[in-house]
Amino acid sequence: MGNGSVIKQEILDYIASTPWAVLATVRGDGTPVIRTIGAFAFENGGGSVYFATFPGADKTRHIDGNSRVSFFFQHEGQQLQEFRNVELLGDAAKVNGEDDIRHVAALISERSPIVQAFIEKNGIAVFDYYEVRVTEVKSLDYRNGIGPQAIEVVFL
Q: What is the pLDDT of residues 98-126, one digit of tens each?
A: 999 999 999 999 999 999 999 999 999 99
Beta-strand pair 128-141/84-94: antiparallel
Whether 1 has a pLDDT exceeding 80, the answer reads no
The whole-angstrom distance between residue 118's C-alpha and the CA centroid of its chain comes to 20
pLDDT band at 3 (very low <50, low <70, confident <90, very high): low
CA distances from 152 to 36, 92, 95, 97 (A): 24, 23, 30, 36
155 touches 135 (CB < 8 A): yes
> For residue 21, how many other CB atoms are within 10 A of its CB?
22
Q: Which H helix or E strand runs over 139?
A: strand 128-141
For each of the domains in the chain, give its residue range(s) and CATH number, in order of start: 9-155 (2.30.110.10)
Give percent of the chain with pLDDT exceeding 90.
95
Q: 0.85 exceeded by the pTM?
A: yes
Backbone angles phi, psi at 55, to 5 degrees: -55, 140
pLDDT band at 68 (very low <50, low <70, confident <90, very high): very high
Cα–Cα dist 109/40, whole Å: 9
Cα–Cα dist 66/27, whole Å: 8
